[in-house]
Amino acid sequence: MTDKEDLYVAQEQLDRLGTLTDCVYAVALILVIQWLPMPSESSDADGHLYLLELFAEFAGNILAVVIGVVFIILYWLRNTDLSARVDRTDGPYVVLSILSVFSLLILLYVVRVGGEVEGAAARAGESFAVAMIGIFSAAAFWRARRNGLVRKGLSDDKLVNLQIESFTEPITALITLPIAYVGELWWNLSWFAWLPLAKILSRKISQRGGPK
**In this predicted model, what pLDDT tens digit does every residue of 42-53 receive, in sequence order?**
776 566 677 788
pLDDT for residue 95: 94
131-152 pLDDT, tens digit per residue, is 999 999 999 999 998 888 888 8
pLDDT of the residue at 44 = 67
C-alpha span between 55 and 81 (Å, rounded): 35
**Whole-prediction pTM value?**
0.80
Q: Where are the domains of the chain?
A: 3-207
Give me the pLDDT at residue 32, please: 87
Q: Please give the pLDDT value at position 208.
A: 54
Sequence-distant (6+) residues with CB within 8 A of 44 are: 53
Q: Which residues of the chain have pLDDT under 50?
A: 210-212
Q: Quick one: pLDDT at residue 162?
A: 82
pLDDT at 38: 81
